[in-house]
Amino acid sequence: MTPDEFRAHAHELVDWMADYLAQAGNRPITSTAAPGDIRARLPAVPPDVGEPFSAIFRDFEQLIVPGMTHWNHPGWFAYFPANSSPPSILAEMLTATMGAQCMSWNTSPAATELEQVVMDWLRQLSGLPDTFTGVIQDTASTATLVAIISARERARARAGTSDAQLTLYASGESHSSIAKAVRLAGLGAGALRVVPVDDVFALQPAALRAMIEADRAAGMVPACVVATVGTTSSTAVDPLPAIGEIARRNDLWFHVDAAYAGSAALLPECRHHFAGLEQADSYVFNPHKWLMTNFDCTAYYVRDVPLLLRACSISPEYLRTAHDAQVVNFRDWGIQLGRRFRALKLWFVLRSYGADGLRAMLRKHIEYAVTFRAMVEREPGFEVMAPSPFGLVCFRHHPAHLADGAELDRHNERLLARINASRRVYLTHTTLAGRYAIRMAIGQWQTSAEDVTTAWDLVREAAAAA
Ligand SMILES: *Cc1c(COP(=O)(O)O)cnc(C)c1O
């Protein structure tokens, strides 16, 4: 591709991108593709001869786009959102253009130093203590794996402790990435103790304390507790002050997972959910979930940087540079060696919206959730299933003729399928205390009050047709 051809195609793509974002709401939000459909329309063997860009782009539009799920659609209420705001997208274009691999300070000094700056900005905005130092990871799953490995590292330092003795604790509502990290860290799936939750799906500190004592009495070495602010199912908030206190008394690593809800720490009125976070050893949240930043971008904060380096750094001769003693090499702060320049998009986002703009967006989503919840509560035959401290409302349809149980679960499963068949909105589900619940997760940057009302109308229409 010549420089002139690149320029012309780039202009075409920018026009496509601007139209896509402006008209995202006009597209069906989900694909009707059946498994294998798209693959069947793609050649099984690679091209021998280069093809013109126009042919590639035509296939992108005709084969790929219809097979996409449109996360940037204003009717996005599924899972948690993945926000790709315009400034973030523009920064990603520049990141791809420069193509820098930011493993060491030396491999792009600006990338490392900008990462230090934006992570400290985010720390200040989130009200974290200045004893926390941040690094960008690809996902919360990776950050949590790093936290578990750090906890293992600290526990190993105690004389006479073997990995086989280590036990870790998280609630039954904690994210699957924690169980996965325990397994990947080689501690064995059984090392993770599942702590029961209360009636609002928050970890019960008394149960945690009892489990730690029982393990200790059995000769195990309790090493780590993971608390969640904003669980994936229902955005429940574990009591951080009590858990932090137990962690401190028992010398446990205290990791806090706020992958989705961490963005809400920017709001003074939401800070109380994060009280006790100052006791944490590590903290993770995803600007790519609710802070206008393109997937992927995870903020990981730790207190003990030397310990993190001990767990993750390795310096073969071919990576050594003359500056190593004076600089930070983020390759030593996580799993990956090679690192994308993710700080750039965060910098663009933080500067474009400012703290005020980001707070306004978060408040808007929380307000929509309050409104949606009130509509559910007012409507006969519907019930909310959990508290809604952030942008998520869990609810179900409960017609009088159906008792609680499997039949009611199936009724709501069919209801959700009918809502999503509109392809105008997209919602997903979970189970809470064994009951099927529909999740309405509000947090897409293009979503308006009208989109929320549309979703509610579709829910009611689907229920009326049931
Ligand atoms: C989404 C989520 C994760 C996983 O996030 P990834 O960045 O996709 O790994 C972890 N914990 C919680 C509470 C989540 O909601």
Domain range annotation of the chain: 1-30+69-83+354-466, 35-67, 100-340
**Tokens (6 digits) for 345:** 């998009």
Element (H, E) at 76: strand 76-77
- Tell me the fold of 100-340: Aspartate Aminotransferase; domain 2 (3.40.640)
Q: Is the pLDDT confidence value at 466 over 80?
A: no
pLDDT for 320 equals 81
**146 CA → ligand 1 middle, Å:** 14
| 298 close to ligand 1 (CB < 6 Angstrom) | yes
**Tokens (6 digits) for 181:** 């990290």
| 234 close to ligand 1 (CB < 6 Angstrom) | no
**Tokens (6 digits) for 199:** 């009636």
Evaluate whether 371 touches 451 at the Cβ level (below 8 Å).
Answer: no
Ramachandran sector of residue 419 (left: φ over 0; alpha: ψ -120 to 50; beta: rest): alpha
Evaluate whether 444 touches 79 at the Cβ level (below 8 Å).
Answer: no
Average pLDDT, integer, range 51-77: 97
| 139 close to ligand 1 (CB < 6 Angstrom) | yes
Q: What is the CATH number of domain 1-30+69-83+354-466?
A: 3.90.1150.170
| 286 close to ligand 1 (CB < 6 Angstrom) | yes
Question: What would the pLDDT profile of 186-209 be if each residue is shown by its tens digit?
Answer: 999 899 999 999 999 999 999 999
Average pLDDT, integer, range 49-74: 97
- Beta strand pairing status for 221-228 and 76-77? unpaired
**Tokens (6 digits) for 257:** 């997972």
pLDDT band at residue 159 under the 50/70/90 scheme: confident
Instruction: Concatenate the DSSP letters of all residues of 309-324 into one string.
Output: HHHH----GGG--TTT
Q: Is the pLDDT confidence value at 262 over 90?
A: yes
**83 CA → ligand 1 middle, Å:** 14
pLDDT for 315 equals 78
Average pLDDT, integer, range 145-161: 92
| H-type alpha helices, 291-405 | 305-312, 343-378
pTM: 0.97
d(CA 116, CA 451): 38
Instruction: Concatenate the DSSP letters of all residues of 117-172 into one string.
Output: HHHHHHHHHTT--TT-EEEEES-HHHHHHHHHHHHHHHHHTSTT--GGGEEEEEET
Question: What would the pLDDT profile of 338-370 be if each residue is shown by its tens digit?
Answer: 999 999 999 999 999 999 999 999 999 999 999
Q: Is the pLDDT confidence value at 306 over 80?
A: yes
| H-type alpha helices, 218-337 | 240-249, 287-290, 305-312
How crowded is the C-beta side of 338, counted as CA atoms within 13 Å? 4
Q: Tokens 């659609």: give the residue.
A: 73
pLDDT for 214 equals 98
| 141 close to ligand 1 (CB < 6 Angstrom) | yes
pLDDT for 314 equals 82
d(CA 362, CA 443): 8
**Tokens (6 digits) for 165:** 């003795």
pLDDT for 160 equals 84
Residue type, 289: K
* Helix, strand, coil abundance in the chain, percent, nearest 5: 50, 15, 35
Q: Is the pLDDT confidence value at 165 over 90?
A: yes
Question: What would the pLDDT profile of 422-439 be if each residue is shown by its tens digit?
Answer: 999 999 999 999 999 999
- Beta strand pairing status for 298-302 and 133-137? antiparallel
| 140 close to ligand 1 (CB < 6 Angstrom) | yes
Question: What would the pLDDT profile of 367-401 be if each residue is shown by its tens digit?
Answer: 999 999 999 999 999 999 999 999 999 999 999 99
The sheet carrying 253-257 orders its strands as 133-137, 298-302, 282-285, 253-257, 221-228, 166-171, 192-195
The minimum-distance atom of ligand 1 relative to the CA of 228 is 13
Evaluate whether 262 touches 228 at the Cβ level (below 8 Å).
Answer: no
Element (H, E) at 411: helix 406-421
pLDDT for 95 equals 98
Greater confidence (173 vs 157) lies with 173
Q: Whose CA is nearest to atom 5 of ligand 1?
A: 140
Ramachandran sector of residue 158 (left: φ over 0; alpha: ψ -120 to 50; beta: rest): beta
pLDDT band at residue 231 under the 50/70/90 scheme: very high
Question: What would the pLDDT profile of 123-134 be if each residue is shown by its tens digit?
Answer: 999 999 999 999
Instruction: Concatenate the DSSP letters of all residues of 211-259 into one string.
Output: HHHHHHHTT-EEEEEEEEBS-TTT--B--HHHHHHHHHHTT-EEEEE-T
pLDDT for 322 equals 82
pLDDT for 20 equals 97
Mutate to test the pocket of ligand 1, among 83, 173, 176, 177 (most ligand atoms within 8 A of CB): 177
Cα angle 307, 313, 318 (rounded to 5 degrees) comes to: 160
Q: What percent of the chain has pLDDT over 70?
A: 100
Element (H, E) at 301: strand 298-302
pLDDT for 157 equals 87
Residue 27: count of CB within 10 angstroms of its CB = 17
Question: What would the pLDDT profile of 238-255 be if each residue is shown by its tens digit?
Answer: 999 999 999 999 999 999
Question: What would the pLDDT profile of 8-33 be if each residue is shown by its tens digit?
Answer: 999 999 999 999 999 999 999 999 99
Q: Whose CA is nearest to atom 15 of ligand 1?
A: 232
Q: Is the pLDDT confidence value at 136 over 90?
A: yes
The minimum-distance atom of ligand 1 relative to the CA of 143 is 9
**413 CA → ligand 1 middle, Å:** 24
**Tokens (6 digits) for 450:** 């009208």
383 three-class SS: strand
